């Protein structure tokens, strides 16, 4: 697997591309504005075909270039069905520019498997930041793409529309079962590992509330 990464937009969103070198197939996660041109250039350089576009959740800083990427690549969009309404009809709270709508075609759900080339991604439903927030686990590679659920040193906001502190606690509790060496690639900020985050995550799980 080859992992590509860039940071874009006013909220410094992490955009990721996972590519399978053997099949030259790829998937992109959270194509924020402006990432379409960067993504097209990286795909062309490597001769990759984008097979899937994934939104880990529905917030505008993760979905803004979905429509542009879908138009350029013909790749379908995948998201959890609970977040489809806000992707189809964006509610761009505090966005500094218009957010084009996009229409998912692939429903993500707990336990779903995404396959392209030799890569396998498991869908973990991790609500709390939004009702349909998901994380993607590349188990063989020891990699978790956590969206805005788990950050280095903290969790995603739960005070925005659709946020749920109790659901976030349960999502963090579920992620604790992953091995210490699991590398975490969040929607914002630096990457981390489960080992680095385990102490405060365990406290949240034990207390049953969001405490640091």
| CA 163 vs CA 14, 39, 110, 159, 207: distances in Å | 21, 30, 19, 6, 19
Using a pLDDT cut of 90, give the percent of the chain over it. 96
Cα first-last separation, the chain: 34
Distance CA 160, CA 1 (A): 35
DSSP labels, 31-85:
--TT-HHHHHHHHHHHT-EEEEEE-SS--HHHHTTHHHHHHHH-PPEEEEGGGHH
Determine which helix (DSSP H) or strand (DSSP E) holds 125, and give its type and residue range.
Answer: strand 119-125
> Which one, of 150, 157, 119, lies nearest residue 28 by Cα?
119
Quick one: pLDDT at residue 203?
Answer: 97
**What residue segments make up the domains of the chain, in order of their start?**
2-207
Using a pLDDT cut of 70, give the percent of the chain over it. 100
pLDDT band of residue 117 (cuts 50, 70, 90) is: confident
Distance CA 77, CA 32 (A): 13
Give the pLDDT mean for 9-19: 97
Q: Using one digit for the tens of pLDDT, what is the confidence trace for 53-100?
A: 999 999 999 999 999 999 999 999 999 999 999 999 998 888 999 999
Q: For the structural domain made of 2-207, what CATH number should be given?
A: 3.60.15.10
Q: Using one digit for the tens of pLDDT, what is the confidence trace for 124-146?
A: 999 999 999 999 999 999 999 99
Q: What is the pTM of this model?
A: 0.96
Res 148 pLDDT > 90: yes
| b/e burial code for range 186-197 (CB count within 10 A of at least 16 → b) | bbbeebbbbeeb
Instruction: Report the range of poorest mean pLDDT among 12-21, 109-118, 169-178, 184-193.
Output: 109-118
Quick one: pLDDT at residue 43?
Answer: 98
Res 45 pLDDT > 80: yes
Quick one: pLDDT at residue 49?
Answer: 97
Quick one: pLDDT at residue 36?
Answer: 98
> Which one, of 161, 202, 166, lies nearest residue 60 by Cα?
161
Distance CA 39, CA 29 (A): 11
Quick one: pLDDT at residue 78?
Answer: 98
Quick one: pLDDT at residue 92?
Answer: 81
List residues bridging with 136 in a β-sheet.
123, 145
């Amino acid at each position: 697997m080859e992992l590509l990464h860039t940071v874009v937009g006013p909220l410094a969103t992490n955009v990721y591309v996972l590519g399978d070198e053997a099949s030259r197939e790829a998937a992109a996660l959270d194509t924020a504005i402006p990432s379409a041109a960067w993504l097209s250039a990286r795909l062309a350089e490597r001769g990759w075909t984008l097979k899937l576009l994934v939104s880990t959740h529905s917030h505008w800083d993760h979905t803004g270039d979905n429509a542009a990427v879908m138009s350029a690549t013909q790749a379908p969009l995948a998201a959890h069905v609970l977040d489809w309404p806000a992707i189809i009809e964006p509610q761009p709270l505090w966005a500094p520019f218009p957010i084009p709508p996009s229409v998912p075609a692939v429903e993500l759900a707990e336990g779903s498997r995404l396959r392209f080339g030799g890569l396998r991604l498991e869908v973990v439903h991790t609500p709390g930041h939004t009702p349909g927030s998901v994380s993607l686990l590349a188990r063989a590679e020891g990699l978790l793409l956590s969206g805005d659920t788990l950050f280095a040193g903290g969790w995603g906001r739960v005070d925005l529309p659709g946020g749920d502190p109790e659901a976030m606690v349960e999502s963090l509790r579920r992620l604790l079962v992953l091995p210490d060496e699991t590398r975490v690639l969040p929607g914002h900020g630096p990457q981390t590992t489960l080992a680095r985050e385990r102490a405060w995550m365990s406290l949240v799980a034990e207390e049953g509330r969001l405490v640091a």
